Structure 1
Amino acid sequence: MSEHSMQAPALAKEGLNMDALAGQLLRLGTVVGVLGLTAAAFLGMQRGDGGAQLLHSYLLALVYFLSLGLGALFFVTLQYLTRAGWSVVVRRIAEVLASSLPLLVVLFVPVLVSMLRGSSQLYIWVDKALVAQDELLRGKQAYLNVPFFAARLGVYFVIWTMMSRHYLKQSVRQDQSGDLTITARLQSLSAPGMALFALSTTFAAIDLLMSLHPHWYSTIFG
């Protein structure tokens, strides 16, 4: 991370290495997560609705955790855009949190698989027979279709992953080298980065949430 001064501060050569503990926590978290998802899937299928409530609850949880990563990415981008100095001591937390965004791609797989199998329990516009009978849905078919939906989702995650990884990589590099020009480069990239972030998050909200009810319109989504 960087400082606003023109000279790199003299820091004590001390550090805390948590590699071993981090690995243990990651393995424990993975086991707990898999067990939790398995239990949720089992209980969700007991409702007798074919997993409809399970899918909606799963999507809600996904979007919630996605919002945490995106919020962190927005925070980091905003700090560079405004050239804020106060956030240097806390920015690494947001950088690490934002770097978790690529992991959510894996968690979106069940949603995409259900759509590719033709399930309309989550998004009714997946049902081709229903679309054929609905004039409004037919008008939106060029945008609301599974291949294009998956492609857009992929583009969003590519943008978010590239931004989050670049911020973290350059921040760590600056810690190691003390090169203050890295801050200037990140500041110059923050403006186009913020524009990409705004567009991608707006369309992601429309795709993931607003299209759950394709007959409904609201400017709150952009």
Structure 2
Amino acid sequence: MSSWAQPTHAFVQAVSRRVESELHERVRRHFGAYAHGGLDTHIYSLVLSQVREHRRRLTAQLDELLESARVPVAIGGAYEHFFTIFRAHFRDASLAAQGHGATVSILRNGGGAAAEALEVLRTLGFPGDLTEADLLRLFPPKSREAERALDAMASVRAYYHVATQCFLDTAVQTTVAAFLNPLGRDLGAALVDGMDVGDQERATHWLSRAPGAQERKAELEHRRVRLQRGVDLLARLSFAR
């Protein structure tokens, strides 16, 4: 399980980058007009600080989960379910290696010859609930040692399959509970504290626009009004005809 650390940290980095990108776009959209005063840059620096602090806390929690995952624990009925699946898979592979691959394929796919064989057995008085899997059991075990090896392989495979899925589910839940939710909760207060909105001079500087921005805005508004008047005039002329 030591190999889980690298993909776990990569997952955290990917989530963090996605959050940073989304927040950067929102800052640009809402505060880009005040870039001249440095408002957007300052706000984004506060945002990044919060993202990275919450990411650090998340990483610490996931590292604890990784450490606890090193200790085997009982993982409930899911283990028995997947043990049965993997045990059948490994036995099929063993039978195929002994030259019975075609028969295994026929019985696993069902229908055709498999259905006919089951029908013949029912006609002979065998139970009517026999399945293709029951027919596979007619192959004798290769040896006791081979059967024990199949049990061991299925046990290990089932355990790690369930343990991995449990860890993945827990990692996602932890990311939401320890990163996304706290970040959303704490970000507003951090921005208020970091902006120091009580400093009027600083606030005025941040809210200043680039030289000529107001004039450009007024010019565009004037053009919009003139264009609208022209459209209205054309509309009246068309109706007059």
Bigger helix fraction: 2
Based on CA coordinates, which of the two structures has the bigger radius of gyration?
A: 2
TM-score when scaled to structure 1?
0.25
Task: Calculate the TM-score normalised by the size of structure 2.
Answer: 0.24
Greater relative CO, 1 or 2 (CA 8 Å, sep 6+): 2
